[in-house]
Amino acid sequence: MGIVYRAHDEVLVRDVAVKFLLPERVPGGEPSARFLREARAVARLSHPNVMTLHDIGREGRWHYLVLEYIPGRNLHDAMLDHGGRLPLDEALHAIRGALEALAYAHARGFLHRDIKPENIMLTASGQVKVTDFGLALARGDARLTQEGMIMGTALYLAPEVVAGAPSDSRSDLYAIGAVLYELLAGRPPFAGEDLMAVLSQILSALVTSPRAFAVDISPEIEGVILKLLSKNPADRYASADEVLAALPLPAGRAALSSGAWAARGSSATPEDQAPPSGRIRVLLADDQALFREGLRTLLSVQPDFEVVGEAGNGEEAVRLAAALSPDVVLMDLRMPVLDGVAATRRLSAALPGCKVIVLTTFDDDEYIFEGLRAGALGYVLKDVASDVLFEAVRAAARGESVLQPSVAAKVVAQFARLADRSTRSQPARSLVEPLSERELEVLALIAEGKSNKEIAAVLYIAEGTVKNHVTNILGKLGVRDRTQAALRVHELGLI
């Protein structure tokens, strides 16, 4: 929700990070209240592992926070430096520092709500700092984000958050478990080709042991991770202090010396930065020229947006995206030549770095789930307020998912139904025809959110063979798509 700059405090002779709230979001109401709440939340937290708030102010129409400048790397960049996985000692050191920050914050009534590798930093000396407590929620302080909005990085959402239930400190601990899993295994605990697949796995799929990807992970650490990732919050650790007690200490600290980290650079600041170019490149795809013109005008007045092209149909959108490399595509669904769902699916396969937000007038369940399954990172209706659209574009550019309230409600309801079916007994409906052993194997992988290509690789069969199995499975289950098949799996107790 802000833009961050590195600056120099000439009075105290120190570098700082200055976070600005865009002027159009300042005048009053929710945006200003959320900004002030962020300041109050961070100002009340004073801990070596929490980013420090130095000052808050207003210059004309701009509100700003003056924050501690943190030279170093966030954990996402650190994993890239190491080619995927972090060494065990570095991972344990980082996670223990983050847990110290959460233990302190939780004891004072604050949740972080957005724990992820990008929000955990290590300074040049190896000091762990947790950033962006802007989503912190103080007990007793009404939530000021728009009610029902789903925003954030899906990979680290706890199952209860996906199902629409209230979150608490154990939701932050789940996210810590997901981050530790990724640091040591080199991949997140759940991944899929689209948002719906990821959410489905978080809610219902079993966690693959991290030792399947990294045999050097000890059984002790594996046990801590799997307990943190329990579907039921009651099965997790009750507090960050409990996790600290269970988690082994790093065997050595030499790898965290200032020289080791300084060699990797010192340019990082809080995570709300725009892409390296400084502006988010946006491609518009809509068959209504008048709507595109208005949308271009609306986006162009934002200092961090650049509209790089317009497409009148899905085919043209795919072609222009390949030529222009936009960060975000705003995609209509109903277009000639190639519709938005098909175009999104092609873009997701060919240009995984290009993020798609569906921008449409349709809020039918079928459109929503088809768009998300095709790979869209967000789903927004055309009657949305402009500031919500702006934030959706910025969030998508950061790789985060955004669903506006009316859409989020449908997604949450879908997964709430799945959660309900998995926790209570139901009379099983009989199959149209029994499934073969191979079909059961394919069905289990469908329930994990895997694509036909991924299933083919796991089972060592041709992708065309997988497609035939999927067709047979849908017929035998009496359902029309993969999501319904995943639901039937739990209803029938097949796997």
Q: How far apart are CA 363 and CA 23, in angstroms?
A: 31
Place of tokens 């300084």: 262
Of 58, 41, 61, which is closest to residue 50 (Cα–Cα)?
41
**Strand 14-21 vs strand 62-68: parallel, antiparallel, or unpaired?**
antiparallel
User: CA-based angle 197:134:165, to the nearest 5?
Assistant: 45
**Strand 120-123 vs strand 128-130: parallel, antiparallel, or unpaired?**
antiparallel
Cβ atoms of 230 and 242 within 8 Å: the answer is: no
Catalytic residue among 77, 81, 114, 365: 114
Judged by phi (left if over 0) then psi (alpha if -120 to 50, else beta), residue 105 lies in alpha
Cβ atoms of 16 and 67 within 8 Å: the answer is: yes
The verdict on whether 114 is a catalytic residue reads yes
Q: How far apart are CA 4 and CA 187, in angstroms?
A: 28
Q: How far apart are CA 143 and CA 137, in angstroms?
A: 7
For 18, 165, 397, the CA distances from 305, given in Å and listed in that order, are 20, 35, 11
| SS (HEC) of 360-375 | ECCCCHHHHHHHHHCC
For 31, 90, 166, 299, 382, the CA distances from 386, given in Å and listed in that order, are 13, 42, 28, 9, 9
For 171, 198, 347, 416, 430, the CA distances from 202, given in Å and listed in that order, are 13, 6, 25, 12, 27
Catalytic residues: 114
